[in-house]
Each structure stands twice: as structure tokens, then as C-alpha cells.
Amino acid sequence: MDTVTFGMGCFWGPEARFGYHSGILRTRVGYAGGKEGQPSSKNTLDYTEVLQVQFNAELLSLEQIVNQFFKQHNTTRAPRSMKYRSLLLFENEEQKSEMLQKLEEIKHIHGNSYTSVEPLHSFYEADLRHQKYYLQRWKPVYEKWQELHVEKESLVESTLAARLNGLSKGCGSLIELMQEFPDSAYDSLWSVIREVRENSKEQSEDMCGLD
């Protein structure tokens, strides 16, 4: 299991878009890339909002993740603050090399990029209310997930929660979820999702795939 951390604006959307993919095992949002102490949601200091994902390298490569990182946001536009800057954080030389190589390709194509590539020194996990943000707002589905996960995986650790967070933003499909999680214990959850979708207008994200 490998881990990679990156910032691309507000961390809510990226967590949903990356979390739906079957190669992603866990997602969590937080703050990294700063030096001024310990950040919080009320005062992020000089830190950046980031997404940290754990992934199965046999199913999903670092190259695919980095490619999607650049595809999902405009890195040629200057960030409005340190909090929302474009940032790739490496934990080893392999990650550093992959990130820098792709950054050079982007600069060659677009002329410039405001993305920074830096070592990951520390990661501060954000408050629970920021984790799987869209799933928590998908009330009927979130409440059913909680009912099925009492005293089991936390919201941060749950792979299913990562998938549901993506599904709430139109990434992936219910059929894919049912195939990945075939346990009949989830049948009531699938029923709630179908009911919610029937009563609401379904949205589809155009940047969900990890090509």
C-alpha cells in the first residue's frame, strides 16, 4: 500500500473525485506544506489544504494519480492564497522524480505552472466535519452507512465511505459499488441510494476518471 499527498484548491472536491476509484483504499484531508506551527480549520497558518490517499500500486500507478492531479485543476493560474495552492508532496525519491518529470511536461505544454513539488514533512488531519464532506451531506445515505459501521472502520479509514463520497458527486456507479462490495449486509444501503437518486436529479462529474 502506497501513500501520496497533494493540494489542488479546496480539499472537498478532490477527495470525492479520487476516492471513488477502485485502486484507492483510503482518503483523508488535512493540512501540509507549512512551517509556522500546528494548523487548524480556523487558522491554517502557512499550510495548504491537501488530500492524502492510500492506494494499491498494483491497480493504480502513481503516474495515473499525478496525471489526474494536473488534469483536474488549472495550474497555470496563480493561487489566491497559500491555503489553496497547487502542491505535490513527495515521500521518497521515486515520487519526487515522477512529480518533477510531469511538472516539466506541463510547463513545456503550457509555458508555466504554479505547482510546487516539495518534501512531505508533516500532515495534520482536518476536523471530522471536513472528511468525506459530500457523503456527510448526503444525509440518508450517510446515516445508513453509520448504522452499518457502528464500532467498525472510521469515516477516514473506510474504503466504502471513500466510494460513497465519490458517488455523491456523480463519480462511479451504484453497479460498480455493488460489485466491489458484494456482501448482502449492504443491500439496505443500496436500497437507500436508489431511493435517494429516484427523488433527486442525478449529477455527473466530468473529471472523475484516473486515466
| 10 carries an active-site annotation | yes
Please tell me which residue in 1, 7, 10, 128 is annotated as part of the active site.
Answer: 10
- The residue with cell 463519480 is 171
The answer for residues whose C-beta is within 8 angstroms of residue 139's C-beta and 6 or more apart is none
- The residue with cell 507549512 is 34
- The residue with cell 451504484 is 174
Catalytic residues: 10
